[in-house]
């Protein structure tokens, strides 16, 4: 009688496990991607311009004593428009956001754009000395030295200067927006309320 052969080698696998493994790996990656998408905020911050106050001084410069007098030339004058925007910003990330400057854009009815820069907080006191009527409007400057913490809402004013613009041009605008630059994040834009 013949004895059965002793088999020391395991049976050869057919290789059908690779598609199963790839299917499981794809399913795990899809669940992780869905979790990241649903749990991460889609917005960096909520930014809103709550109100905008207009300050339009007319400044005339007198001739300095001892300066050369030009016959027929009147005193120099300057018309600048200052917009004091009250802004609210809420951090929607799980990270602090750092404010890094402000700019504004005004669109005229003809489609042309005028840009304005914010007055730096260190220059605001000197501007208020020159124009005391500006002080009550800009009592709470938006603090850009400290970060806005996750979930925190901060409110304050930003003073913007539009050189040579009049209050009538501001009131007749098509639209205006404020851009807040953030460190390590994309800029945030808010529209000024309609007049």
Using one digit for the tens of pLDDT, what is the confidence trace for 58-73?
A: 666 566 556 666 666 5
Is 45-61+76-191 a domain of CATH 1.10.4030?
A: no
Distance between CA 70 and CA 42 in Å, rounded? Answer: 62
Distance CA 176, CA 76 (A): 30
pLDDT digits (tens, 9 = 90+) for 131-186: 888 888 888 888 788 899 999 999 999 999 998 888 898 999 999 999 999 988 88
Mean pLDDT of the chain: 83
Torsion angle of the four alpha carbons 33, 39, 43, 44, in this order, in degrees rounded to the nearest 10: -100
**Nearest-CA neighbor of 89 among 80, 79, 100, 76?**
100
Sequence ranges of the domains in the chain: 45-61+76-191
């Amino acid at each position: 009688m013949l004895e059965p052969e002793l088999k020391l080698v395991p049976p050869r696998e057919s290789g059908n496990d690779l598609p199963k493994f790839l299917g499981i790996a794809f399913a795990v990656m899809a669940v992780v991607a869905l979790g990241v998408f649903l749990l991460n905020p889609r917005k960096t911050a909520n930014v809103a311009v709550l109100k905008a106050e207009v300050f339009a001084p007319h400044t005339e410069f007198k001739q300095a004593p001892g300066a050369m007098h030009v016959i027929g030339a009147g005193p120099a004058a300057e018309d600048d428009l200052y917009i004091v925007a009250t802004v609210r910003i809420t951090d929607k990330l799980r990270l602090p956001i750092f404010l890094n400057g402000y700019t504004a854009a005004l669109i005229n009815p003809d489609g042309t754009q005028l840009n304005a820069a914010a007055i730096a907080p260190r220059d605001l006191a000197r501007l208020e000395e020159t124009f005391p009527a500006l002080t009550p409007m800009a009592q709470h400057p938006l603090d850009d030295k400290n970060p806005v913490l996750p979930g925190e809402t901060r409110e304050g004013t930003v003073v913007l200067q539009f050189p040579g613009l009049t209050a009538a041009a501001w009131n007749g605008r098509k639209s205006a927006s404020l851009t807040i630059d953030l460190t390590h994040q994309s800029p945030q834009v808010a529209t000024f309320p309609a007049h």
